[in-house]
């Protein structure tokens, strides 16, 4: 089977408008949470979110195109442009049918949906934009990236809630490994810091109601009370190893395994037994030719909800056995917030950079230990440590589990 490596990364996140700035913030343990000032929140009950700061897509998306694309799609285009620039090639030496685009979104064009539904009820159906549907649907980040780049290979958008972009990266990995593609643009995008979306998530009890940004997203902490809504995009360029070496590409890390399972349990809660999530982890590291003892770090799903970390801890213990006692586990959602459909991809990028630089990112805001989450959660300060193999977990509403196994590239 062919080997697959990461040769380009791009990111637009609450802690940085590009990948290097995002990584600098993550290493430093800086979160991106602040009080919401975009819309009225008093009647919603949630006042903190993780939104983009001073973001302007104009260098990539002109004014006309901005009027015809939802913010989630603009984020994706900016991150994809950065990733391709970063990889050092436009990949035009490859057959365009051998370069794919797999970019997911958990929800798609929520801002567009919210704006157009107001028009519909206030001004009538004739005032709904002719661009409403192509702006809203979740596949248009993948579609627009393909249109922009000319890549004509496999092109689709996984929609598995919070696991969407982890599935995108995993499916891209398999497409290249199994010989269907030579390269793929993979990742996810989300733009759900809107009044409508915040109301919906809050009414189901998913969001943190903390008014203190420093105590809002606190994964593994006993006082956690829900996730902080994030937004942005993360895109990776995956490439077959020999092609990457042939053009002298820099290599961030190798993707070596991927596990995908379903809980078959509940529409929002992870399964309490952790069995299916554990199976996804095992499938990932076994495909990579590794054992549980080989895993040095896990970038946890770690949403800061009361049940997630409890059940994810159970899953990690089931997957790794005795090795769970010593493996480092952290949640970078303690800094980025929960970017929903973009979460898996940004966490894959962070995991790749952790392998490259030998730095395990921290779980920030951690103060009160939870006896039910008795893992090494790397509290508050990044740890310098040589890591050779890591897992990145994503668990989505509906019971969708995806785990990526990454290796440090050593030739």
- d(CA 344, CA 302) in angstroms, rounded, equals 11
Active-site option among 78, 162, 184, 405: 162
- d(CA 247, CA 281) in angstroms, rounded, equals 33
Question: Residue 80, by phi and psi: left (phi above 0), alpha (psi -120 to 50) or beta?
Answer: alpha
Which tokens belong to 11?
């990111």
* Site of tokens 């496999």: 154
User: 403 near 286, Cβ under 8 Å?
Assistant: no
Q: At what angle are helices 308-320 and 275-287 packed, to 10 degrees?
A: 50
Backbone torsions φ then ψ of 101, nearest 5 degrees: -135, 115
**Which 3 state secondary structure label does DSSP give 10?**
strand
User: 139 near 84, Cβ under 8 Å?
Assistant: no
Is-catalytic flag, 31? no
Query: b/e for 54-67, b at 16 or more Cβ within 10 A?
Result: ebebeebbeeebbe
Pairing mode of beta strands 253-262, 328-330: unpaired
- d(CA 370, CA 294) in angstroms, rounded, equals 26
Tell me, rounded to whole angstroms, the distance of Cα 105 from its chain centroid: 10
**Which 3 state secondary structure label does DSSP give 82?**
helix
Which tokens belong to 257?
């395994």
Greatest CA span in the chain, whole angstroms?
A: 63
Active-site option among 31, 167, 338, 400: 338
Active-site option among 87, 301, 373, 405: 301
Number of C-beta neighbours around residue 242 at 10 A: 11
**Intra-chain end-to-end CA distance of the chain, in Å:** 16
User: 320 near 290, Cβ under 8 Å?
Assistant: no
Is-catalytic flag, 243? no
Which tokens belong to 291?
């054992």
Residues annotated as catalytic (active site), given as ranges: 162, 301, 338
């Amino acid at each position: 089977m062919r080997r697959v490596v990461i040769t380009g990364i791009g990111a637009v996140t609450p802690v940085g408008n590009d990948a290097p700035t995002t990584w600098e913030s993550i290493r430093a343990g800086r979160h991106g949470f602040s009080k919401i000032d975009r819309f009225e929140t008093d009647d919603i009950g949630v006042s903190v979110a993780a939104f983009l700061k001073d973001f302007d897509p104009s260098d990539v998306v002109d004014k006309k195109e901005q009027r015809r694309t939802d913010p989630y799609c603009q984020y994706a285009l900016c991150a994809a442009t950065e990733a391709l620039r970063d990889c050092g090639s436009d990949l035009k030496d490859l057959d365009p049918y051998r370069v794919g685009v797999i970019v997911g979104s958990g929800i798609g064009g929520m801002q567009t949906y919210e704006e157009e539904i107001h028009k519909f009820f206030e001004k009538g159906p004739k005032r709904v934009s002719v661009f409403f549907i192509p702006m809203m649907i979740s596949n248009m980040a993948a579609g627009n990236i393909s249109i922009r780049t000319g890549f004509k290979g496999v092109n689709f958008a996984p929609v598995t809630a919070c696991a969407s972009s982890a599935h995108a990266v995993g499916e891209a990995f398999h497409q290249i490994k199994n010989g269907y593609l030579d390269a793929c643009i993979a990742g996810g995008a989300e733009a759900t810091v809107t009044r409508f979306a915040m109301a919906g998530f809050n009414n189901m009890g998913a969001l943190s109601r903390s008014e203190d940004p420093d105590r809002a997203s606190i994964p593994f902490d006993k006082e956690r009370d829900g996730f902080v809504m994030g937004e942005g995009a993360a895109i990776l360029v995956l490439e077959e190893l020999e092609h990457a070496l042939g053009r002298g590409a820099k290599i961030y890390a190798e993707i070596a395994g991927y596990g995908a399972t379903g809980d078959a349990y509940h529409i929002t809660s992870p399964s309490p037994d952790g069995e299916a999530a554990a199976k996804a982890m095992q499938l990932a590291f076994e495909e990579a030719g590794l054992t549980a003892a080989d895993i040095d770090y896990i970038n946890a799903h770690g949403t800061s909800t009361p049940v997630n970390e409890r059940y994810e801890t159970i899953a990690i213990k089931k997957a790794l056995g005795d090795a769970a006692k010593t493996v480092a586990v952290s949640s970078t959602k303690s800094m980025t917030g929960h970017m929903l459909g973009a979460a898996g991809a940004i966490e894959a990028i962070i995991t790749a950079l952790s392998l490259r630089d030998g730095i395990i990112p921290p779980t920030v805001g951690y103060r009160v230990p939870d006896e039910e989450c008795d893992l090494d959660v790397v509290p508050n300060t990044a740890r310098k440590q040589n890591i050779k193999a890591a897992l990145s977990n994503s668990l989505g509403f509906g019971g969708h589990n995806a785990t990526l196994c990454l290796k440090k590239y050593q030739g």
